[in-house]
Structures are given as structure tokens and as C-alpha cells.
Amino acid sequence: MKEPPPGQRLALHPRMVRATLLLLCLVQISPAEARSPLGNLPRTLRLVRDKVSLFCAYQRLPRDIRRYVRSLGRDRSGTRVAVFDADFTLWNGDVGTAFFKWMIRHNHLTPRMRQPARTLWRDFKRGKIADTDAFLQMVTLMQGLPLKRVQELATGFYRQSFAGAEFRPMHALIRKLKRKGITPHICTGSNPWIVAVGAQTFGIPRSHIHGIETKVKDGVLTGVHIDAPVTWREGKRDRMRHDLPQKTIVLAAGDSFSGDSWLLGMAKKAFFVSPSNKYRNPAGRRVAEKKARARGWQPFRMGRRQQQNPAVDPPE
């Protein structure tokens, strides 16, 4: 690089200055790091990388959504919430049905439930059973299994097949909402035990997951659904009214017209996620996005490039 003549200052491009200032603002150095910066340099660099990655991921969200979130003041009352669907919204795949299929394949269900489960899966794939009934039976057929065993299986399956499939822009959005005092919740047609594993990566606790689940007796799953609406179609709306009666849903996101429309319709602002793994047909994707715009829902395309790890290809 050619050095400037003696006495002449090196001119810095304004964009370079802004980028440097942005990085300095993003990095929060602890007092220990300030006293010994070289000793904590790797950690500081990782902090820079992670925060810049989140910032870039947040910029991927539709401008309309970012502008809306920016307009929200900080909530100190705890009455405002954001509700997200899980599958194809927070991560690139359907973890609930994939987990059920995996349990059938590896004979993790009780012997009495294995054949009914195979029949259900066959009818579901052939479209012979309604989605609401299918999703409910996928959970009730786990009856007889200890809850702790189901949680262990769910953790192992998710880490093996879905870890890294989470969408980075959704991570950034949820983090931004939390800073404003807005509590994130998940309303899903899958069982909460498998969804809870993925929700941990977003910092969403099990108590904020509303899914299809059965009652537990003496630590064992029963075949009786809990006393709450089934979280699919209008059941998602009814479940939110049941579980969050005093809350205001300021933002909602989902990927399915058949399953999420009632949920999205409750929110003050909603957006429609159209992941590439689900909408493989470009024409069908455009039709879905046009339909979303007609309802006032900003469409947002996501694919493997927006995953935490683009190399992960979740099972169908």
C-alpha cells in the first residue's frame, strides 16, 4: 500500500468510518476485558462476529416489519406479546411430523400403539385424514411413554436432525422484541416437547410454548388431551384467548393459510413466512405471497441461506 507523503493525513471514506463506529457500538466490553484486552481478544472477536451477524440477519427482515418494531415503545407492563408459529417459521422444516415419523421408524412407541401409528401416518400422507385430527392423534398415540423418555428422545432427535436449521432473522427479531419488553410465545400444531428443544435456541421457555399435548399422570403420557383448544386453524386463536386472556398480541408470524390465518388475524401486525423448503414451486409461492398481501400480511421469503447452518437439510 502506498504511504501518504509526510505531513499529509490519510483520508478515510465516510462509509468506513460509519462501519467502524457501528462495530464499536455493537461490542460491549466488560471491565475485565477493558483492563486486559489482549487476554480476552478471542472472546471479544467472537462477540463482534455474533453481534454483527445478528445485525445483518435483522436487516433481512422486511422493512415494513423493522419499521413497525422500531415504532413500538418499551413495554414495562408486561402485557404485550409476540406469537410465532414454529415449523417453517422459526426453523426450516416440520419438526413435529418428522419426530413422529422417526419414532415409528425406530419403534419408540409402545407396542400397542405402533400399528395404529403406522396406519395414521399412511392415511395422513395420502390426505385421508384432516390435519387437525392427524396432529392430535400424533400426540395421543404417544400414550404410555414416560414424559422424561419423550423429552430425551426429542432432544436427541432435534440435535441430530434440526440443529442449525433455525432462521437467523427470527433470532434477531425475537432478541429485538425482548429488548423492548415484548414477550415471545410459540403457538404450534406440533407437540411442545419437541418444539421446546428448538425454542431453547431462541431463549423461549417451555412455559411460553402452546402446543398439542396430553395430560400426564404419574409421569406417564395419557391419551387424553389437556383442557384447552387444539392448536390448529381456529384452535390457535381460541388457545391464545384461553392462555393469554389479558395480553395484547402486537406481532405474529406464520407460514400456513390453513393453520395460521386465525392466529395472524388476531395480531396488530403480522407477516407471512414463505420458506423455500415448503414452497418449492415458484408459482405456488407467488400465489401464496399475493394472497398474504391481500390480507395485509407482509410476505417474507426464507431458505437455507438464512439458516444458522445452511448445510443442514431437515428431514421431511
Give tens-digit pLDDT for 248-263: 999 999 999 999 999 9
Q: What's residue 52's pLDDT?
A: 78
Q: What's residue 3's pLDDT?
A: 53
DSSP string spanning 244-285?
A: -TT-EEEEEEES-HHHHHHHHHHSSSEEEEEETTT--SHHHH
Radius of gyration of the chain (CA): 23
Residues 187/210, Cβ–Cβ less than 8 Å: yes
Residues 225/214, Cβ–Cβ less than 8 Å: yes
Residues 63-92: what's their mean pLDDT?
Answer: 95
Q: Strand pairing of 270-275 and 248-254? A: parallel
Under the banding of pLDDT at 50, 70 and 90, the label for residue 33 is very low
Residues 139-147: what's their mean pLDDT?
Answer: 98
Alpha helices in 106-230 (DSSP H): 111-125, 131-140, 147-161, 168-179, 192-199
List phi, psi (to 5°) of 273.
Answer: -90, 130
- Is the per-residue pLDDT at 74 higher than 80? yes
CA distance 256 to 233: 9
**Which three three-digit cell numbers place residue 180?**
423492548
The top-scoring range by mean pLDDT among 36-40, 265-269, 303-307 is 265-269
- According to DSSP, the residues that pair with 302 across neighbouring strands are 275
Residues 261/294, Cβ–Cβ less than 8 Å: no
CA distance 59 to 51: 12
Q: What's residue 54's pLDDT?
A: 83
Q: In 3D, which of 116, 144, 273 has the Cα closest to residue 217?
A: 144
Residues 287-297: what's their mean pLDDT?
Answer: 95
Residues 213/139, Cβ–Cβ less than 8 Å: yes
CA distance 117 to 105: 10
pLDDT in tens, 155-211: 999 999 999 999 999 999 999 999 999 999 999 999 999 999 999 999 999 999 999
Q: What's residue 49's pLDDT?
A: 72
* Element at 209 (helix H, strand E): strand 209-210
% of the chain with per-residue pLDDT over 90: 74
Q: What's residue 51's pLDDT?
A: 77
pLDDT in tens, 218-251: 999 999 999 999 999 999 999 999 999 999 999 9
Residue 5 is given by DSSP the state P
- According to DSSP, the residues that pair with 248 across neighbouring strands are 80
Q: What's residue 131's pLDDT?
A: 95
CA distance 263 to 41: 45
Residues 292-307: what's their mean pLDDT?
Answer: 93
CA distance 298 to 269: 9
CA distance 51 to 300: 22
Q: What's residue 134's pLDDT?
A: 97
Domains defined along the chain, listed by start: 14-59 (no CATH), 63-306 (3.40.50.1000)
Under the banding of pLDDT at 50, 70 and 90, the label for residue 217 is very high
**What one-letter code names the amino acid at 174?**
I
**Cα-based torsion angle of the residue sequence 172, 175, 177, 180 in order, rounded to the nearest 10 degrees:** -130
**What one-letter code names the amino acid at 154?**
A
- Is the per-residue pLDDT at 29 higher than 90? no
Among 6-15, 55-64, 260-269, the minimum mean pLDDT is found in 6-15
- More confident position, 183 or 28: 183
CA distance 217 to 186: 25
- Is the per-residue pLDDT at 2 higher than 90? no
**Which three three-digit cell numbers place residue 157?**
432427535
Q: In 3D, which of 269, 295, 249, 292 has the Cα closest to residue 65?
A: 269
